Amino acid sequence: MLNSAKHTFFIVTDDAKAFLKKVVKSIPLIEAAGGLVKNKKGEYLFIYRNDKWDLPKGKLEKGETVRMGAVREVEEECGIEIDKSGAKICKTYHAYVIKGQVVIKKSHWYKMKYKGKAKLVPQLEEGITEARWFDKKHTAEILHNTFPSIVEVMIVSHLITDSQEQPLG
């Protein structure tokens, strides 16, 4: 993985849980949380970070619950105040290289609601250059330039269907 850090690849296994348990024992695990935020118009909040569309999320701070961390990260990264944190959507895992070491990030995802009208303010110091609301019918731009884990959140939350998924580029 260190030799191919800029490439996406998939591991196919018969027992994903057993494989993941084995991998996690040898690689640091970072706990993170975020949300799929829906506004009163039925639009969904996405951020643009590191040249990809993403959902707001981040590392948990010491002493906070997963749900608290998810809400805090969304609020910090987008400059809004969440009205309601709802049901857990899913957990995703992805590996990446930081400071020459492979790590696994386990992200917990929640449905969230926002009822306000505040202007979105992307957290520039986190590399977020845009925060934008997307109508459910206009997610193609996201699907063409996002991460597989974000597509998974979109499918599990029924924002898109499996048949809508496009090859990622």
Residue 73 in tokens: 């990260």
Q: Which of 145, 103, 164, 104 is nearest to 154 (CA)?
A: 164
Q: Rounding to the nearest 10 degrees, give the CA dihedral for residues 145, 150, 156, 159.
A: -50
Q: What does pTM read for this prediction?
A: 0.84
- pLDDT block averages, 10 residues each, the chain of length 169: 58 82 82 97 97 97 97 98 96 87 92 96 97 94 94 95 55
pLDDT at 167: 47
Domains in the chain, ordered, with CATH?
2-6+22-137 (3.90.79.10)
The DSSP bridge partners found for residue 45 are 133
Counting Cα atoms < 13 Å in the Cβ hemisphere of 57 gives: 24
Residue 141 in tokens: 């731009």
